[in-house]
Structure 1
């Protein structure tokens, strides 16, 4: 539940916490733009769900 909140508020932080530094940096670049915030959030949620399921 906490990870979902992190994905919504700071998707780049969720990527960094999962150990995906390069994806986190790309996520920061997406998060900077208002239009890129939604895809960055969805991307972070998918990565987080995939990591927790494996």
Structure 2
């Protein structure tokens, strides 16, 4: 679901994750039709990186607990 938001509403994707300054920059980029594609790609990549970071944090906590 969040990936679809990142594709169709890139700046909203950043806002929902609490990145206000990044959302403003993304909104400025997506105002133009040509800028929409890079903004969507940026939002999807950022979302995937965020998910990977959370996954890595869980793994680190799991290995430290032993």
TM-score after normalising by structure 1:
0.92
Could you say which structure has the greater relative contact order, defined with CA pairs below 8 angstroms and 6 or more residues apart?
1
Instruction: Give the greater-gyration-radius structure (CA).
Output: 2
Root mean square deviation of aligned Cα: 0.6
What SS does the aligned partner of 2:18 have?
coil
**For structure 2, which runs of at least 5 residues remain unmatched after alignment?**
54-66
Report 1:11-30 matches (<5 A): 11-30=10-29
TM-score after normalising by structure 2:
0.77
